[in-house]
Amino acid sequence: MIQPTRIWRLLGKAVDEARDAADYSDVVRVGIADTAKRRGQSYISIMANLDCQRAIAITQGRDKGALGRLCSELKEHRRGPHEGLRGHARHGFKAYSLGGGAKMPQATQSVDSFHVVQLLMRATDPVRCQERRESAEKRRQLAGTKYVWLKRRESLTKRQLAKREELDPAKTHLREARACQMGEALQDVYSCADRKSAGRAPERLCSWMMHSAVAEMKSVARTLRKEREGILNWWKRGSTNSFLEGLNSVVQSVRSAARGFRSIDYFKTMIFLRLGRLDFTAQKKLACATH
């Protein structure tokens, strides 16, 4: 009977040898995102080649040093991160932006549009919850309206659309209604064809947020201003983390099937087996070890 630890050693060795032989010379645009190793406790960061859609580096954590560790891992496998990288799409707004210029001096950083919109939409629900507690009248107006605000206007049912029209900020002066308008304005910004047509629209939106009475939107505006260049570079490079979002679902299915992993190394091994697009045809050592 073969012990599980021996099987993991064989798999890990096969993955390491395949990665050492892998050709990363075509890496030009990379995307970086995080995913949970354990629910709400432990995270890993994944770097993927956006052009050929493969995982190329994985590190534990999503802290400030995660980007540096990913770049070091990529450099170890025949490709320095400073040599030819032209695009870097990132999942988050904080950790992955720190040190990006030093680690990837020639890469243009861009923030994925999905997460910019998500940042603002997530800020609207606390506004609704707080406003409902302010008076019985507001509680009555906002009762059962959570998805009226979170869904795009074209996705609303007739009943939900009628409710939103009833709670228009010009009629009710609800802060939640104004926050929702700001979310729609941000989505309109992303409907622009290119960076030039987007122009100063993000700054005008941030100015509106900062002069509003909605504290949560002011916090969002500060983040958007800090990340202005990364947001506008989304049009310049067209980089997107949509592939990484798909990877995340695969990674989580791997974790669920295994009922979790005791070791981060086992988790990384499985991710590279499923998503690394590695070539195992020359694994002679592994074949000999199993006989």
Walk along the chain (291 residues) and give the pLDDT tens digit of each residue.
Answer: 678 788 888 888 999 888 888 878 778 888 887 887 766 567 888 888 888 888 999 988 877 788 888 888 887 776 555 555 666 666 555 555 545 555 666 667 777 787 788 888 889 999 999 999 999 999 999 999 998 988 888 889 999 999 999 999 888 889 999 999 998 898 888 888 888 888 888 899 999 999 998 999 999 999 899 888 888 887 876 555 567 677 778 888 888 877 667 788 888 898 999 888 888 886 655 555 554
pLDDT in the model for residue 98: 47
Structure tokens at 114: 């999905």
Q: Using alpha carbons only, how large is the chain's radius of gyration in Å? A: 23
42 vs 35, 63, 110, 228, CA distance in Å? 9, 11, 26, 30
Three-state SS at 172 = helix
- DSSP code per residue over 74-127: HHHTT--TTSS--EEEES-SSGGGTTHHHHSTTPEEEE-HHHHHHHHHHHHHHH
Residue 266's identity, in one-letter code, is Y
CA angle 196, 198, 201 (to 5 degrees): 135
85-133 tens-digit pLDDT = 666 666 555 555 545 555 666 667 777 787 788 888 889 999 999 999 9
From the list 204, 224, 142, the residue with the least C-alpha distance to 176 is 142
Task: Give the C-alpha separation, 159 to 170, whole Å.
Answer: 20
pLDDT in the model for residue 78: 60
Tokens 């890469």 label which residue? 107
pLDDT in the model for residue 152: 83
pLDDT in the model for residue 46: 87
Contact present, 95 and 73 (Cβ < 8 Å): no
Task: Give the C-alpha separation, 186 to 177, whole Å.
Answer: 14
Residue 168's identity, in one-letter code, is D
Three-state SS at 55 = strand
Task: Give the C-alpha separation, 257 to 74, whole Å.
Answer: 28
Q: End-to-end CA distance of the chain: give it in Å, rounded.
A: 13
